[in-house]
Structure 1
Amino acid sequence: MKKYIHYITLLFLASFVWIGCELEDPELGLPPTAEQVTFTYTYDANNPNIVHFKSTAPGFKALWDFGNGTKAEGTEVDGAFPLQGNYTVKLTIYTAGGSATNSQTITIAQTNPTMLNREDYNFLTGGANQLEGKTWVFSPVGPVNFGGEPANGGNNWWSQTLAEQNDCFKDDEYTFSLAGFKFENKSKGAMWGINNGVENQCVPQPATPVASTWNLYEEDGKVMLSVSNSETIAWDDNEGVYEVMELSENRLHIRKVCCGGGGVRNYVLVPKGYTPPVVEKPYKSANLTDNFDEEGNFTWSKDRALFLESFDNPAQIGINTSDKVARYTKPAGQADAFANVFIDLGYRIDLTTRNVIKLKVFMPSFNDYAAMGGAEDWSPVKTLQKQVSVKLQNSLLGGNAWTTQAEVIQKVTQTDQWVELTFDFSSVSARTDFDKIVVQIGGEAHYNPGIFYIDDFRLMP
């Protein structure tokens, strides 16, 4: 019996030792050294401005920086160097133990003009027939500078025309030249940006533009535009890298995530001396409906409000027993004082036969409608309001859309039950400029939070 117990004990101990070994972290190995980061390169037989690179270093990942603003990933890659000169090519390899970088200098003997004859280069610089370069300015018709949160792509109320900009922003000019890929920031003394850590300041600029170059390249499936030597476009933050949303002969739309990553800024530029035409949206009459149990025939967008569509109905009672509704949340704080949701239509609304909007709303009693959580100094409203506001706006006016809007406000006197509200816009049915519908619940210009529910939104005859 003792031998049997002893044998079981040995088996248990052996199992414990084996399990312990299995639980140990595997050895990662030593990090690579720069000397281990080696690569070869050969010039293309038909075009010596194309260089073939091959990593001869160990590792599971190889990242390349060609020294001309372009990058690549892979063991074997090609680099394009249309301009004569010396380029420092860096290779970074990654192994289980870490990463290391090494570099070599390659020489491009001659400029290859055929590689410079690209549509995007010609659009940006004017091409070989305009060696003095092409100067871009901010679009005078706007929107020129529009932003928002990264999640919604920057499409919100902060959509401004050139006239709304600070004076040190309005007169900026930027010249791109094909010769030497030269970039000149002609901001005439000051740029709008960050000065000594403070945002939204006029930042002094040198009288003579800093010598800089530009580059167009692809990265992660996106077309990027960069300018060197800490030069920037529109906003002075020393980070001159932008995603190109559109580049044509008469329009340059660039976009960047900025301000600590919390926002998106878009800038629209046009060639100096060019006035873009104002393209008017079509004018039509159409039904708009969304019951949140199924897809509506339009898209809701959010401007600071939190909006959850197809949310479980919190009270299937009275006039609304549907399964799904939308939950609308106005967050607390000054940044969300004007929170709303909106419908940005692709046409101007014909209100002659359809000019009444209806929706159902549920106002919970658990909201604090008496709290004085702060408000804008000029606002007479200091508390969360039991109300729904519907506004019709002209989106072409950008941040000034509120100045010509038509607004109907309906007060709600009953909490914890569904009520139907009617917003009659027949008094402005002759207007032909509205292309946006804004829904705002709980009032504006105050900093108090609230949660609400809506359902059965419709614009019908």
Structure 2
Amino acid sequence: MKKFITLSLLALSAVLVSCTKEDEKSLGGPSIAKSDVKFSVTQQQGHDNIVMLNSLTQGGYIPYWEFTGGFSKKKLDTINLPFAGDYTVRYTIYTQGGPLADSAKITVSQNDPQYFSSPMWNLLANAQDGKTWVWASDIPGGICYGNGSGGATAPEWWQNGIAYLTQKDVAADEMTFDLKGAKNYTFTHAGASQKALFELDTLNKTLKITGSDISLGNKVTYVIVKLTADELTLAQQGDGWRNIWMYKRKGFSY
């Protein structure tokens, strides 16, 4: 049975949602009774990450929807909430007498299996449980950081291992990816952790971190050169060259 919520405004909440000049010019009709403010939030049966929004308030009122990850001004819209959890969808209409608002609470039962269908998500982040990566400093030869030619899969020209990483005070750095409620990234350096977010492009095989970076990183979109259950190699791609970072799953030994 579809999860269907149709709500009347039970208690007026004066939510001051910003309105553009364009919105203000298009507002029409008088203020309406609270009981006439109606909307529905419907989750798709068997795939409750897909959520249908429907503004049911009669008249030419502009709806404004707010939800985790975005907003909409459409009367009818379909959104995707890819992460399991409890959510609040806020609904506001604008009248000449001011905004009227209410909200609906919904629960998404699991991370979206379609959204996260690429094996890369689990290899990198181990779903909601998370995965921690450290320098692959015990790789045969001991070289895990440096640079090389444009198609290099390991440092070729400038080659560094544990001695250089220790000198730079980054040898014990860790980075953790998880999918618990968001695309979470945690960078740990010198015992202190920094929370951030990441984006994984599974088609182009790139990784973007927002709000932090990798050890000795350059705050760019990194190319994923190698990703297995135990190994991760990232690169900053240049014109005929690459900077290369080589990691392993924490707890893995070569």
TM-score (norm: length of structure 2): 0.46
Judging by fraction of residues, say which structure has more helix. 1
Larger radius of gyration: 1
